Every structure is written in structure tokens, then in C-alpha cells.
Amino acid sequence: MRGGRRVGRDGRGRRTGAATAAALVCALGTSALPAGPAYAAPGEPEPASNGARGAGSGGGRLEKVRSDVDRFYRQAESATDAYNLAREKQARQEKSILKIARAVVKAQKEMTGLRERAGALARAQYRGGGMPPEARLLLGDDPGGFLDGFTLARKGEKAAHGLMNRLEHTKAALDRYAESASREWERLDRSRAKKAAARAEITEKLARARRLESRLEAKERDRLRQLQEQRDRASQAKWLKTGILREAGGRSSGLGRRAIDFATAQIGKSYVWGAVGPDGYDCSGLTQRAWASAGRSIPRTSQEQWRLLPKVDTAHMRPGDLVIYFKDASHVGMYVGDGAIVHAPRPGRRITLAGAGSMPILGVVRPDAS
């Protein structure tokens, strides 16, 4: 087996391929990978079960439920991206405000010291009567001694002028810090509001999906899962039929293999929205942590990963690349070779392998593009 097709290690340190991992996920009952000949030879029609033939309104009703549930979970996932981005911005803004606060403390200490020095200078001038050195020359009895005093006076004036300039600049810096802090607080408030709104939307969409599912009997829920898996297999078969794997045969990089090893080691853990491990992940939390384990920092959300990471042609993707899904870039999985991805599907599901073409592909990005 080529290096680019390897996707992980088992507990004894042996390499495991996509087929072995798919068998594991099937055993868990969460796999969306096409099984057997349908995966190896795309294009064969899926055998229709009695439920699939949908005699009467029952099949149509379940398909409508499946479509609605899928839509609600996708909307929740899109809101999760908004939540994660707002949370990330909030963290950055809090750090910026802390940095400004430390600069303000430092400037205030300097201002206090400068004011004390300015006060001492003013008191010294008051004791000297505030008389200019030229007047003291006319009134003094020792012109020679005056010249020495005149030089010192000029130095004192220069020092006083420098002190006033520093006071002015420090006060201006404090004013700038105050203005910056005000702007950052406004941004922070907006980020908090966006995060709260996204959280509310996530909660509402998940509740609607779960209410729909809860109204189904156990047999109907099983059938609903079968309908989703059939849909995924059909999409995967159509994608494979394009001959994509004949071109997408590149080998993973060293960093890519490390990212794949991390991601596949998480198989079986729960999807948890907003989570970045170690016990659960959302889709972009998994890909971010996987690449972090390989030593490469990437953006937190699937939308930012799509926007900021180098894009590659789908036909030239290699294991370790990230596959971005849906028009709004609301989902991401990591390509592991052999037409498969590892991903965190949605709430209520576990991290698993799936067909890379089982969802609408927006594009592919490469975290370690050189």
C-alpha cells in the first residue's frame, strides 16, 4: 500500500488502511462509507428495501423528516462556525484590552514621576524669585560668578523644556490608550453579542432537529438513519464515478501523515459543538487540533480555513488536505486517501470515516502547502 493511502495506527502500532477503519466504524454503527462493491465499483444501483420503495405516504414522510433534520443540523453547524469565530475574536480582544491596561499603568507611573519632577522644578523657580539671569547680571556684584550661574540656568531651562515635552507626550499616549481601549471594548461587546446570538441559534436548531427525531418510533429512527446512509452512498458513488481517484493519488507529506494519525485516533469520540478536544470535537476543532499536533497552526473555523488556507484542485488533493463542504463552507473533513475523509459529522454522532464525496464539496485546502 502506498504511503499516501495509510490513515492511522492500531493499538499495537500497526498501520491500518481506510478499509480496516471503515470496518471499525461500521461496527460502531456510525459509518457513512459505502460498503463493499458499491465503494469499489461505483455506479451500481443501491438495492431498495421495502421502506425505501416508500409505498404510500410513510416513505415520503420519513424522507421529509430526514431532509428537515439534515437542514436543522446544517444550520446549527453554520451557527457553530459563527460562535467559534466570535469566541476567538473575543479572546483576542480581551488580550488586547489587557495589553492596553498594562501600557496605561506604565504610562501613569511615568506621568506621576514627571509631575513630581515638574513640581520640584516649579518650587525651585519660586524660591529663586523667578528672576531671569539677565536681570541678575545687572544686579549682581560678581559678573564672573554669574557666567557660571548663567550656564547652569540655561541647562536647567533645557531640562525643564524636555520635562514638559515628556509630560505632553505621555499625556497624549494615555489619551490614545483610552481611545484604543474604548474601541476594543466596543468590539468585545459586539463579539459577545454575536456569540450569544449564535449560541441561541445553535440551541434552537438542535432542539428542532431533536424534536423531529423524538417523534419517530425506534424502527422509524433506524430507517431514518438508513435513508441518510443511502443518500450518502449515492452521492459518494456519483463522485467516484467521475474518476476522481485516478488523479487524486498524491502521497501525504510528513506533516500530513502526523495530522492523519491524530485525526483517525479520535474515531469514536463524540461530536460536541464548540469543542476542540480531548474528549470531543466539532468538525473544525478536529482538523485544527490534528494539524496542531503536526506542528502547523491553522484557523479555528471551517469558513476561516477555507478563506485563509492555500486552495488546491480537488483532482490533485492528497491525504492530509482538508475538504470543505457546502456553499457556506460550514463543514470540513480531512482527506485520508482512498476516497475517504475522517470528520466529526454532527451532534449525536461520533467521529468517523465517510466518503469524501458524500456531501457537496466546495473545495480543498492544504495546510502545509509550500
**Helix/strand/coil (H/E/C) assignment for every residue in 50-82:** HHHHCCCHHHHHHHHHHHHHHHHHHHHHHHHHH
* 316 is annotated as an active-site residue: no
Which amino acid does the sequence have at 251? R
Whole-number Å distance between alpha carbons of 280 and 344: 9
In the numeric block, the cell 459563527 is attached to 82
Question: Rounded to whole angstroms, how far apart are CA atoms 358 and 32?
Answer: 8
- The answer to whether residue 343 is catalytic is yes
Q: Are 355 and 315 in contact (CB under 8 A)?
A: no
Tell the residue number behind the cell numbers 483532482, with chain if given: 315
Burial class for 265, CB neighbours closer than 10 Å (0-12, 13-18, 19+): middle
Cα Rg of the chain, angstroms: 33
Q: Is 161 a catalytic residue?
A: no
Contact 361, 325 (CB under 8 A): yes
Of the candidates 73, 101, 66, 308, the one whose C-alpha atom is nearest the C-alpha of residue 185 is: 101
Q: Is the N-terminal amide bond of 45 cis, ω within 30° of 0? A: no
Cell numbers placing 220: 422509524
Cβ atoms 70, 347 nearer than 8 A: no
3-class SS string, 324-369: EECCCCCEEEEEEECCEEEECCCCCCECEEEECCCCCEEEEECCCC
| Closest listed residue to residue 334, CA positions, set 278, 274, 370, 292 | 292
Catalytic residue among 26, 161, 283, 316: 283
DSSP state of 5: G
Residues marked active site are found at 283, 331, 343
